[in-house]
Structure 1
Amino acid sequence: MVQVQRTISVQRPVPAVVHYLRDFAQTEHWDPGTLSCVRLDEGPVQVGSRWRNVSRFRGKETELIYELVRSEPERLVFVGKNKTATSTDDLSFSSSPDGGVITYRATIVFHGLAKLAGPFLKREFEKLGDAVVEAMPKALGDIPA
């Protein structure tokens, strides 16, 4: 298992940030590893909504099916799965004088033989976490306040 946590300050109010990030298709704008992220269902985004996310990691493309499993005014949790791994993106939000603070936690649990690689991949996931810290405020800078 690999865990990465980052704290990101943004200059947008928490409700606007949560509304934007609730649609996991937005990962195309704030997750540098995401190549595409397409919603698999229709209607309002709510618990149970699903997306097909294609990412590039260490030069290889990987696809996970993500589901929104928790949606609250100050917390969003998405779980993505494929045969190799289960990835949980847990985002918590709090207000600050300048806008909001996002606590982003990514947990990747590897399955089967991939479990053996987990400890060796920690540094790569830490780099991705650093890239999210750079990209997310830029993506959120374009949303209405």
Structure 2
Amino acid sequence: MLKRLLLLLVLATPVHAVQPDEVLSDPGLEARARQISQVLRCPVCQGENIDESNAGVSRDLRLAVRERLVAGDSDAQVIDYIKDRFGEYVLFEPERRGANLILYWIGPAVLVVALGGIFLWLRGRRREEEPVPVLSAEEEARLKDLLKD
């Protein structure tokens, strides 16, 4: 019973949301369309590319990608076409320029500053530790007398 339920769940899960009527007859163009669709984010879904999304806007974007490829556009031109209409949000990996460059470097910069601060703090703590005072001969003799008792 459990095996049948598991098999039903596996078979019911779609591998891709691409519908049969969207598939191009040229396998080379279809492969390019799939590749482009996997780097474009669905504008209404969170963290899902348009190749896997079942949203209506994703279907429209998949069709637009295929139309642009059939028209002879390069992959970069297709991505730019979609980006111009929906903004940089549709790119899973935003371009590394302008304000995005700050976002790419702020994480490593904060890490370096934090590690430097920890290093300096630990180094400063070592200096603050006072050395243990050495006992004088009189104090050592008194200590020995106390320990004998």
TM over 0.5: no
**Greater strand share, 1 or 2?**
1
Using CA pairs below 8 Å that are at least 6 residues apart, which structure has the higher relative contact order?
1
**Greater helix share, 1 or 2?**
2
TM-score relative to the length of structure 2 = 0.25
Query: Which one has a bigger Cα radius of gyration?
Result: 2
TM-score relative to the length of structure 1 = 0.25
